[in-house]
Amino acid sequence: MCEIYVKTDPIKYESRSHSVRIHGVVTTVRLENEFWTLLGEMAQLEGVTTNQLIGTLYDEVTNFRGEFENFSSFLRVSCARYLALKKNVSANKPAEGALNLAVLAKRSSS
């Protein structure tokens, strides 16, 4: 595989915990640094802080699915879906004006 994966900077897959306040309750989320970077990018796209984005994602998934087992895994999958949407949009349509996650999802499905 041309060592494309094994040459990744180890700092990217080092795990780091962040305290996040969701509905006034402080909880700890542990993710690899690469996912924190992606969540920061997603938050910037939405014009919110990373903690606000995480709170919104938590609300959305609990409203849609109810209680669930592993929020950290949900955040990782959300990051992967974000990258897939971003790749699909950039491959098929040029960016126009301000983007946010909803616009990426809409453009990806059209």
Residue range 48-65, pLDDT digits in tens: 999 999 999 999 999 999
**Domain total for the chain?**
1
Tens-digit pLDDT profile for residues 92-109: 665 554 456 776 666 656
Query: Is position 3 within any domain?
Result: no
What CATH code is carried by the domain that includes residue 66? Answer: 1.10.3990.20
Query: Is position 35 within any domain?
Result: yes
- Average pLDDT along the chain: 86
The residues near 97 (Cβ < 8 Å, ≥ 6 apart) are none
Query: Is position 64 within any domain?
Result: yes
Query: Is position 27 within any domain?
Result: yes
95/110 Cα distance (integer angstroms): 14
Task: Please list the residues that pair with 30 across neighbouring strands.
Answer: 17
Query: Is position 15 within any domain?
Result: yes
- Taking a C-beta distance cutoff of 8 angstroms, is the pair 62, 104 a contact? no
Global confidence as pTM: 0.78
Query: Is position 5 within any domain?
Result: no
pLDDT computed for residue 68 by the predictor: 81
Residue spans of alpha helices (H) in the chain: 10-13, 33-46, 50-65, 71-92, 101-109
Which of residues 91 and 53 earns the better pLDDT score? 53
Query: Is position 52 within any domain?
Result: yes
pLDDT computed for residue 90 by the predictor: 73
Binning pLDDT at 50, 70 and 90, where does residue 78 land?
Answer: very high
Domain range for 82: 10-109
